[in-house]
Amino acid sequence: MSETIIQVQDLVKYFPLKVGFFASLVSRRELFVRAVDKISFDVKKGEIFGLAGESGSGKTTTGRLLVKLTEPTNGKIYFHGKDITMLSEDQFKPFRRKLQIIFQDPYESLNPRMTVRSIVSEPVRVQGMKEDREVEERVFKVLEDVEMVPPEEFVDRYPHELSGGQRQRVAVARALITEPEFIVADEPVSMLDVSIRAEVLNLMIDLKEKYNVSFFYITHDLALARHMCERLSILYLGKNMEKGMTDDIVQEPLHPYTQALIAAVPVPDPTAARIDVVVKGEIPSPINPPSGCRFHTRCPAFIGDVCRKVEPPLIELEKERFVACHLFSEGKK
């Protein structure tokens, strides 16, 4: 069994919602955006763990919580068994180099006034590496590892002088230069041309082996998740719907929401068997999520009051296979 590098227990993040003066006079009730609501999972050393769901499910917030760019409201985050949930910024600094993130948009995540050399070297300089020669050697090596060769051609360029794929490679290099053990990849290819997505994804797979780093891969595309991830968790309105080995989930989805996500994946073969699941409407507001099962307002397998009133627990049906649905729980009685 691989070593667990990240363990999350009942993680919660509520964002307080500001209301206008007159609205506050009408109601004294505090409102919150329930972005992440008691989710649990673990990530093994050297694996790519996927988190999938629609926009608004809480995926990006979860990723930011794991690297402490956002502070949790409740729950626990363990790194190598050490509770890092409530560490101050100074206390967390030694862990920062081991926990990195690749943002979704390479056009927004790079400072346009900094050269590639400055962007990539900044993390190790912040961590205290002052020797220019050592920093330069590390910058050149990591640029070669992300296939920006020869690095001499790129180090003095600014982001606007790079293509979208090259910018995202710079973002990957910036994350790798501190030699991290865990990287959150927040939909890292969604802003790239289709022609270069495969190159960046395959690069990440190669780097996982070369650096022995674990990835937390956030996506809304289950076809990409199947290509990238060994294990997968399905998120809906801040709740775990299903969790298990990626091939098991894709080939035999149990939760109606997972079935709907897979049914939405285009298949080029018109004779291929399809899961006929139709989900109507938009994802509800996380400010006032539905009672009971979060998915019951859109669920084609809705079975009555138990779905409307009782929140289904995430139960383990078999080894490494979890689902939160009354169709598989005793509560459906």
pLDDT score, position 332: 45
- The confidence band for 190, taking pLDDT boundaries of 50, 70 and 90, is confident
- The confidence band for 121, taking pLDDT boundaries of 50, 70 and 90, is very high
pLDDT tens-digit readout, 212-233: 999 999 998 888 899 899 999 9
More confidently predicted of 329 and 321 = 321
- Let me know the angle formed at the C-alpha of 253 by 305 and 325, rounded to the nearest 5 degrees: 20
* Helix spans in 44-115 (H): 59-66, 89-96
Is pLDDT above 70 for 128? yes
Domains contained in the chain, CATH given: 4-98+178-332 (3.40.50.300)
pTM to 2 decimal places: 0.90
Q: CB within 8 A of 80, min separation 6: which ones?
A: 3, 5
pLDDT score, position 93: 87
Mean pLDDT along residues 22-32? 67
